[in-house]
Every structure is written in C-alpha cells, then in structure tokens.
Chain A
C-alpha cells in the first residue's frame, strides 16, 4: 500500500541532499574581470550553417515563384488597394535611386528660361529646352493661332495654373551660342546645363496645367499640344490597342479630328516634380484630339471625372 507523501515529506526528501558550503565569489569576480563569456548554446559554426540555409531557402522560394509580396497602398481618393510588389523591389536598395534623385534635381529648372540639359556618357541625348510660365498673359506670346491654340472654354472651376513650353533642337545645335551654367560628372556620365537663346519658331510642345479645388483637394486638367509627324500620329496614336475613337467634324479645323478616349485607370500616373517633393497624380480620363493635317496632338487629361461632353466642348473651343 502506497504511503502518500505530504509537503513536509517532500521537504525532508530534499533535506537528504547535503550541499556543502561553497563561496564562488573569487572565481566569479576573476571570470568577470577577465571578460569571461558564456559559451553560446549554438556554436558559431552551427549558427553560420543555419543562416546560410535560411538565405538559401529564401532564394529557392523566390526562384520557385514566391517572388511577390502584397502591400496595401492608398490612392489619391483614400481608397486602399492590394498591390503586388516583387521582392527585389521591396527589399533591395536600387543603386539607381541615387542617380534618379540627382538627375531629378539637375533637371529641375523651374525659374529659368530655355535651359537645355545634356547628358553625355553612357546616357546619350538631352532634355529639350523648357520654359516654365506662370503668367497667363506671357503665355499668349507663344500662342501662334495656327498650330498652338488655347481653348476658350475650360470646364467650370478650373483655372490656369502654369505652363511648360518645350523647344525643339536637333543634333546640329550650335553650342557656341549657348551658355554653360552647370557641369557635373557623376555615375559615369557628364551632365551639363546650358542656357540657350529663345527661338519661338522651335516650340515643340505646350503643356498647360489647369487646377481647381474639389472637396479640399487640387484637381488637375492638362492640356497638351504636341507637334509631331503626321505619320507618327496615324501609326502610334490612333492605332493604340486601348484607344476607342470616333471621328468628329470640327469646324475650326480643316480636317477630321479623331477624338479618342484612353483608359488611364489601369495604373497610369503622372509624376509632377515640385519643390516639396514628388506629387503622384493618378490620371483617370484622357482624350487625344488629333489634327492630322498639322501633325498636332491635343491631349486633354484629367485627374477628376470629366464627361466626354465637357472634353468635346473644350476641344471645340480651341481656336
């Protein structure tokens, strides 16, 4: 028959263990003073093997197709969406970032007139000279009434904000008449900024920003006149897969105009650079108005719901 022990019995059992006195003070002090380190539970070799195995595992998983992560993003209206982002974009520092930031700063010339930026080295080419205008009266100087025309009607509430005027130059441009104002050598490239004399005959593009306040937010309307080769218009613009167009007769033009409606809702964004950082503006509605005779394209793009009727009304008022 078992005799069940009580707490006192258990205490007596442990009391049978005779633990001699031991003063470890000197040993402990000596070890602490000599920087004694407790041996880790996992040896350094084992730890290294585990880390390498973990890294290999991640690489294998990524190779097996698990190369995307999901991130919640918010659009300009505050609606949240799930966005798939490749691992490499999420975790890897893109060495190109620094270059992009530098170029963005170097290309920024909001208050200057007719600045040409040239990049030499492995990145050939240049940015077209550009002039930014915030005075609507001054803008009139560049409106020739023939190709570059302004709409007389702008949807309710929109006001002129500013305009960019781009000038065309070709490969034979004479730099002797230009003034070098900045020179930088970075990322294997040579960056140069030139101030060049203005030539209104060489305007290639007008980009006009209209803005209005809607529910406390700025809503943009872009009006873009793009001078280009008529052949390009036919093959590249009206032939786009997602373009749905209709031919409209517009009395102010000699030829038919193709009004096309492009879907910008599938992730097209307009990136506006300003002094306070970058403003990403989702483009929702876009219309191309093509004048094949002159080789001009009028883009009217809005970040806010704008009816086709409003767009046509605006297009008809371009005189």
Chain B
C-alpha cells in the first residue's frame, strides 16, 4: 500500500488526518471492486464514518489502521453491490450517468470476476500486499487467496487477450471437458 506512515487509532488522531491519509488509496480500491466511481465515493464516505463511529471496537493489537479500513471498505463494497442488485429489480429508479472512467473492455473483464477476486487481484498486484497480509484482511488462508488470485489472473488473461466471446466459448469447452 502506498501509505507513508501507518496511523494509530488513538486520542490524538482526528478524522481529517485519517481521511487525508487514506482516502485516495481506498477510493481506488473501491473503484476497482465496484467499477463505479460514484458508488466508490459513497462507499469511501461510509467506510470512514463506520471506522470513526466504531473506533472503540478497533483492536489495540492491530496497530495498522489500514488493514482495519480495508476490511470495512471491502464489506461496504459488498453491501453496495447487494444494493445495486436490489436497484436493478426496481426499474422505477433512474439509471445514473456512466462516469466510470474505465475502458469498456477492462470493465467487462473485471466484471467477470467476483468482487473478492477483484479485491485480491487489485491488492496483490497494485498495492503489492502479500497473501499473508491479505489473509488477515479477508479472513481466509493465504493459500486460498493465492489460488483465487491465480484463477483471477488466468481469467483476465483469457478475456483480455482473446475477447469476451472467445472467453464464453472457452468456458463452455471447460465445462464440457469437466463432463
């Protein structure tokens, strides 16, 4: 993660310092998972508010605030995706203007992955977080996360090098082979 110094949740710290330190990195993280800039902004705010309102629950052993914030951000992203599904069921709600700032082919490829795979791929490849560290954030074993990352990497390779229609054919072939 590209943070300068890890912060501690103690009496001296204020919300402004936390936001200034972590907001951009968390926004990019949320944007990569959600592939929606506006939703990422909302989730970012929710993440900081949740973290601040629950700061007393923050474990004193876990001095690295960033892990704590990433956990909240990831869970908030999942909540946002759930709400998104509910919105799709409600056609009365007007669709927001697309301001994703993501090339269409990249977005299509990323949306093939599940949110956890996107989160792991982003955290490992961009923020260069080890699987051992990721295991603490996502509450899974490092080996399981490594497998998921490898699977996500192969999926992205297939989709982006051969295109989405070919990926669909590849999937069908894989299923037939399974049978």
A interface residue numbers (CB < 8 A to B): 2-5, 7-11, 13-25, 27-29, 31-32, 36, 38, 41
Contacts and interface: CB of A to CB of B under 8 A. Distances in A.
- 3 closest A-B pairs by beta carbon, nearest first, are A10-B125, A18-B101, A5-B157
A4 B125 contact: no
Interface stretch (B4-12, B23-31, B61-69, B133-141): B23-31
B30 to A, nearest CB: 9
A20 B15 CA distance: 21
B21 to A, nearest CB: 11
B19 A28 contact: yes
B27 A29 contact: no
Interface string B38-72: 00110011101110110000000000000000000
Contact of B156 (A10, A17, A21, A28): A10
B165 interface: no
Nearest to A41: B79
A3 B161 CA distance: 6
Contacts of A11: 125-126
B102 interface: yes
Contacts of A23: 19-20, 23
Nearest to B35: A17
Contacts of A16: 102-103, 106
Given A7-B153, A16-B106, A22-B41, 17 more contacts: A2-B157, A4-B154, A7-B125, A11-B126, A13-B109, A13-B160, A14-B125, A14-B126, A17-B31, A17-B101, A22-B23, A23-B19, A24-B41, A28-B15, A28-B45, A36-B49, A38-B49
B124 interface: yes
B164 interface: no
B178 interface: no
B16 interface: yes
A25 B19 contact: yes
B98 to A, nearest CB: 13
A15 to B, nearest CB: 8
A23 B16 CA distance: 10
Interface in B96-111: 101-103, 106, 109-110
Sorting the interface of chain B by its residue count into under 10, 10 to 19, 20 to 34 or 35 or more gives: 35 or more
A2 B52 contact: no
Given A16-B102, A19-B31, A32-B49, A2 B19 contact: no
Contact of B106 (A7, A13, A29): A13
A308 to B, nearest CB: 67
26 contacts: A2-B157, A5-B156, A7-B125, A8-B125, A10-B126, A10-B156, A13-B110, A14-B126, A16-B106, A17-B31, A17-B35, A19-B24, A19-B37, A19-B40, A20-B37, A24-B19, A24-B23, A24-B45, A25-B19, A25-B23, A27-B45, A28-B45, A29-B16, A32-B53, A38-B49, A41-B79
Contacts of B45: 24, 27-28, 31
A19 B15 contact: no
Contacts of B160: 5, 13
B158 A14 contact: no
A197 to B, nearest CB: 69
Nearest to B123: A14
Interface string B110-154: 100000000001101110000000000000000000000000011
A4 B110 CA distance: 16
B162 A2 contact: yes
B49 A31 contact: yes
A254 to B, nearest CB: 83
A28 B52 CA distance: 10
A29 B53 CA distance: 12
Interface string B156-179: 111011100000000000000000
